[in-house]
Amino acid sequence: MKIDLNGKNILVTGGAGDGLGQGICEAVDQSGGRVIVNDLTLEMAQRAAEKYKNAFAVEGDISKADDVSRMFDRIREECGIIHGVVNNAGIGLGKNAHEASETEVDRLYEVDVKGIWMVCRAFVKQLLASNEVGHIVNISSVQAFATMHRMALYAGAKSAVNGLTRGLAVELGQYNIRCNAVAPGLIYSEQSLSIIGKWTPDPVKWMEDHKSDHQCLNFFTSARDCGNVVVFLLSELSRSITGQTICVDNGTINLLYNNEYTS
């Protein structure tokens, strides 16, 4: 038994990122799917697409309605129908809620919540208009389940992603369209290091301490670990799963206490 996405066009937003984006695109590519790599600029998307056997690059800011609609038109012209969407594009905000500005909060919710909704909307409309079936995987975060200082706003945005995931599953089940989410734990990526760097001068050490103290499993979750779960959720092996958010976090959210206190 193997995951087979042969003949499927899979759009990965923010796919040019060297974190989750890369792990997801790699997994889609290796399961035979055609990766449609989206990112903010065509150059970024093309540079990433060159890494895969079967990929197409498309630019677009998912927080802008015109960009989303232009992107879907372009994909339709060049690749045909999209069979799966991975809403990976996202930004962070490592600031206490009472210290953040309105502009920062607007941008966070525009990309991490409204952007996902707009991509889902365009995808579902396209599927229904052509009588096709496809599936959605949203990238959430463990922060939606348990959070920490400076993350209330991000935790709120990712909680909205979980709610949207559940609600879309309810609304779209009648069309056999499934919608699930993957909630990664801490992953080594530029986004992680730059956010952690806001409160410690040594983000790499902070991540090492997280690995030993705050996870059940003593190794880092890789972007590819998340990509593997994403392709499972896009494939027919998960045909009975919808509305779920699966944590891919080496057990982080199971720990009530830091390992140091109790082992």
Ligand X SMILES: NC(=O)c1ccc[n+]([C@@H]2O[C@H](COP(=O)([O-])OP(=O)(O)OC[C@H]3O[C@@H](n4cnc5c(N)ncnc54)[C@H](O)[C@@H]3O)[C@@H](O)[C@H]2O)c1
User: Would you please indicate which residues are annotated as catalytic (active-site) residues?
Assistant: 154
When binding is defined by CB under 6 A, the residue of 36, 49, 139, 230 that contacts ligand X is 139
Residue 184 found at the interface with ligand X (CB under 6 A): yes
The rounded distance, in Å, linking the Cα atoms of 70 and 221 is 35
In the bound state with ligand X, the residue whose beta carbon lies nearer, of 175 and 244, is: 244
The rounded distance, in Å, linking the Cα atoms of 27 and 5 is 10
SS3 164: helix
When binding is defined by CB under 6 A, the residue of 172, 187, 196, 253 that contacts ligand X is 187
Query: E strands of 14-60, at which residues?
Result: 34-39, 55-59
Q: Under rule CB under 6 A, which residues in 195-234 are in contact with ligand X? A: none
Beta bridge partners of 45: none
For the bound state, the minimum distance from the C-beta of residue 43 to ligand X, rounded and expressed in Å, comes to 11
Q: Are strands 34-39 and 55-59 parallel, antiparallel or unpaired?
A: parallel
Residue 14: φ, ψ to 5°: 60, 25
When binding is defined by CB under 6 A, the residue of 5, 16, 86, 153 that contacts ligand X is 16
- The 10 Å Cβ neighbour count of residue 153 is 22
Ramachandran category for residue 80: left, alpha or beta (phi over 0 → left; psi -120 to 50 → alpha)? left
The rounded distance, in Å, linking the Cα atoms of 227 and 241 is 17
Number of residues that bind ligand X (CB under 6 A): 30
Instruction: Pick the piece of the chain touching ligand X (CB under 6 A) from 4-12, 13-21, 125-133, 202-210.
Output: 13-21
For the bound state, the minimum distance from the C-beta of residue 240 to ligand X, rounded and expressed in Å, comes to 25
Q: Under rule CB under 6 A, which residues in 20-79 are in contact with ligand X? A: 20-21, 38-40, 61-63
Residue 253 found at the interface with ligand X (CB under 6 A): no
Q: Which residues bind ligand X (CB under 6 A)?
A: 13-14, 16-21, 38-40, 61-63, 88-92, 111, 115, 139, 141, 184, 186-187, 189-192
